[in-house]
A = this chain, B = another copy of it.
Amino acid sequence: MKFEKAVPVQWIADFTGAKLIGNASQETTGINEIHKVTNGDISFVDFEKYYNACLTSAATVIIINKEVPCPDGKTLLVTADPFSAYIKIVKHFRPFEPAYEMISNSAVIGTGTHLQPGVFIGNHVRIGKNCLIHPNVTIYDHCVIGDNVIIHAGCVLGADAFYFKRRKDREVQYDKMESCGRVIIEDDVEIGAGTSIDKGVSGDTIIGRGTKLDNHIHIGHGAVIGKNCLFAAQVGIGGKAIIEDEVILWGQVGVSKDLTIGKGAVVLAQSGVPASLEGGKTYFGSPAVDAKTKMRELTWIKRIPEIWEKITSTDKE
């Protein structure tokens, strides 16, 4: 997320009660997770094993739970609980704004776009031209929708990321990560009934131009879906997965978070994708492997009794 205008790092330090180390005079322009961070951003780290990645990233300001040497030109904000400091900043700059009517006054809706009854459009939403939004769709605050987009009934765009920090020593163990990313739907996308697309934690969840999603699909926080993809019903995509252009996923395929499926890959129905897949190939199974390999495996399994017969008959000889 980018701030509307730059914020002095000293203000951030005061607001979070953190100890400032390093450059005290610079301005921050946004706040982001480590994988989305750009120059001017605040990021946070609370595990020693990620310290180095965060300190050497593009982040200008790093909220951290230990005093370490400050890289040149950067600023460290040292606090016992960087996660909570991060949440506090997000809540301040992207507060929840209650709605009291179905279509927010702050939404911008293009010409030729028709909203059927029962559609909820949150604050600061932008919708392009010639879209058709069917009944009982919910579009949360800050979503951005292009031109010629069709969204079928019951869809939910922009719900919170499913992202929690576990604190095992508490009675209520999961602390909610506040999400401040957006959902961006590019031109010519069609989204089937009852599909949900969550907003990113700090970056954006993106559905690329011309992609078509069937019913009951789940797209996790911060996933980036390419152009001209085709996902059949009940597909689930984990957070921050990257699906390149022209990927086809058949029904009920599940894709784990934090991986990449290469351009033009085809994944057959009910497959489970636990790790990145090369483009241009066809996959099957859970865990998904090359489809022909999987088919041969299934044939081999059927031959086990024959193998047993062979070795036990040899015994008898």
Q: Give the interface of A toward B (CB within 8 A).
A: 96, 98-102, 114, 116-118, 120, 132, 134-136, 138, 140, 150, 152-156, 159-160, 162, 164, 171-174, 176, 187-188, 190, 192-194, 196, 198, 209-210, 212, 214-216, 218, 220, 228, 230, 232-234, 236, 238, 246, 251-252, 254, 256, 269-270, 272, 274, 286-287, 297-298, 300-305, 307-308, 310-311, 314
From A153, A210, A305, A314, name the one whose CB has the most chain B CB atoms within 10 angstroms.
Answer: A153
Copies in the complex: 3
**A138 and B132: CB pair below 8 A?**
no
CB contacts (< 8 Å) of A233 on chain B: these are 162, 218, 220, 236
CB contacts (< 8 Å) of A218 on chain B: these are 214-216, 233-234, 251
Given contact pairs A117-B120, A251-B254, A269-B256, A134 touches B154 in the complex (Cβ within 8 A) = no
CB contacts (< 8 Å) of A193 on chain B: these are 138, 156, 159, 196, 198
CB contacts (< 8 Å) of A251 on chain B: these are 218, 236, 238, 254, 256
**B120 and A153: CB pair below 8 A?**
yes
**A154 and B194: CB pair below 8 A?**
yes
CB contacts (< 8 Å) of A303 on chain B: these are 304, 308
Chain A at the B interface: SS class: loop
**B210 and A173: CB pair below 8 A?**
yes
CA distance A251 to B230 in the complex (A): 20
CB contacts (< 8 Å) of A102 on chain B: these are 117-118, 135
Shortest C-beta distance, A247 to chain B (Å), equals: 12
Contacts A138-B193, A214-B218, A251-B256 known; 10 new A-B pairs at CB < 8 A: A98-B114, A120-B135, A152-B159, A159-B193, A162-B233, A172-B209, A198-B215, A236-B252, A287-B298, A300-B304
CB contacts (< 8 Å) of A159 on chain B: these are 134, 152-153, 192-193, 215
| Ranked 5 nearest A-B pairs via Cβ | A138-B153, A120-B135, A156-B193, A172-B210, A159-B193
Name A194's closest neighbour in chain B (CB-CB): B196
Partner of A301, one of B176, B187, B272, B304: B304
